[in-house]
Amino acid sequence: MIILGFESSCDETGVAAVCTQRGLLAHALHSQIAMHQDYGGVVPELASRDHIQRVVPLTRGVFAQAGIGAGDVGAVAYTAGPGLAGALLVGAAVAQAFAWSRGLPAIPIHHLEGHLLSPLLADPRPDFPFVALLVSGGHTQLMRVDGVGRYTLLGETLDDAAGEAFDKSAKLMGLGYPGGPALAALAGQGDEKRFSLPRPMLHSGDLDFSFSGLKTAVLTRVQSLRKSDEWDDRARADLAAATQAAIVDVLAAKAVAALKSTGLKRLVVAGGVGANQRLRAHFDHALPKLRAQAYFPPLALCTDNGAMIAFAAAQRVNAGLADLSQRDHAFTVRPRWDLADISIG
């Protein structure tokens, strides 16, 4: 069965076609980064309006790329939350309208389930069970994943997400939006040992995270460097490198602790921060020493995209967890939505 999936939870419009047997057929993406850049962050109303304009041309592109037509689609999937309410409503309304017009079922998908299962789109593909480190702009969680729909929360951030720590630190350093990729690029030219920054909750003995103190430490450092007239390109690159190292160290230590406490040997890293090369290199180097292995989504599918939503729906269909008989196209979106709510235990 071919599933057409829509993602519109934030600032990327994503559409994809996935076959439950053959996997990803085609996907298309439009990023709104350039549009939001002038504002230093996502403007929700602009995001919603742009999704409306992009979604139909992207869908046509996916059909052309996959060599299929609307009549080949067997089910429709869409991100139902969490995310920006207005943005989510666009994808949900388009998906439900498409499904209604063709007499198809529509499958609401949890955005984080999309990220969580996206490493299964890569080769090699991890077997269940595994530990998942979910690191996006809005979430930082360690989960135990025993199968599709079987998610147990092991730990999470008590304040800022890892992506937010990247974004907010980048803003304090005068880098553009989104800060994560900009800070990571600058960090590549810096000396991560010049400035020492805190590793919050590194020794807390649990699997929770906290990143708000790190952001404050970065702010204090920028202010003192400015005062002493040392805030130059070198200092900026060195501080970017130190910030990235601090975030990676904490994520890595907690992920390894989660592997040890569960006894599992597979770590899946997903979400936008999973695109970070320093984080990837760290796991690729450190995990084999523990006889463990790290798995990542294909780089292009780390940040938000439609492929992961259509793919998560396909996994649900294959696991018998999607209601394909349902034809009631009344819908709602859930801007706040706990992943534990969809877990079947």
Q: Does 190 bind ligand KG4 (CB under 6 A)?
A: no
Q: What is the sign, positive or negative, of the torsion defined by CA atoms of 199, 203, 207, 209?
A: negative
Looking at beta carbons only, is 126 or 271 nearer to Zn ion? Answer: 271
Q: x/- site string to ligand KG4, residues 268 to 307, per CB under 6 A?
A: ---xxx-xx--------------------------xx---
- 329: CB partners within 8 A, 6+ apart: 96, 97, 99, 100, 106
Backbone φ and ψ for 147, nearest 5 degrees, come out as: 170, 180
Q: Does 119 bind ligand KG4 (CB under 6 A)?
A: no
Find the binder of Zn ion among 13, 32, 79, 136 (CB under 5 A): 136
User: Closest distance between Zn ion and the C-beta of residue 328, in Å?
Assistant: 28
Site for ligand KG4 in 133-152 (CB under 6 A): 136-138
User: Closest distance between ligand KG4 and the C-beta of residue 284, in Å?
Assistant: 15
Answer with the entry of Zn ion, ligand KG4, none that 149 interacts with (C-beta below 5 to 8 A by kind): none
CB 250 within 8 A of CB 209: yes
Answer with the entry of Zn ion, ligand KG4, none that 333 interacts with (C-beta below 5 to 8 A by kind): none
User: Closest distance between ligand KG4 and the C-beta of residue 121, in Å?
Assistant: 15
Q: How far apart are CA 196 and CA 174, in angstroms?
A: 20
| DSSP per-residue letters across 254-309 | HHHHHHHHHT--EEEEESGGGG-HHHHHHHHHHGGGGT-EEE---GGGSSS-HHHH
Find the binder of Zn ion among 36, 287, 304, 322 (CB under 5 A): 304
Instruction: Pick left, alpha or beta for residue 101 (phi over 0 → left; psi -120 to 50 → alpha; otherwise beta).
Output: alpha
CB 133 within 8 A of CB 268: yes
User: Closest distance between ligand KG4 and the C-beta of residue 318, in Å?
Assistant: 24
Q: How far apart are CA 323 and CA 105, in angstroms?
A: 8
The helix (H) or strand (E) run that includes residue 145 is: strand 140-147
Looking at beta carbons only, is 16 or 275 nearer to ligand KG4? Answer: 275
Looking at beta carbons only, is 105 or 180 nearer to ligand KG4? Answer: 180
Find the binder of ligand KG4 among 91, 180, 297, 306 (CB under 6 A): 180
Binding site residues, ligand KG4, CB under 6 A:
10, 136-138, 163, 166-167, 178-181, 184, 271-273, 275-276, 303-304
Binding site residues, Zn ion, CB under 5 A:
136, 304
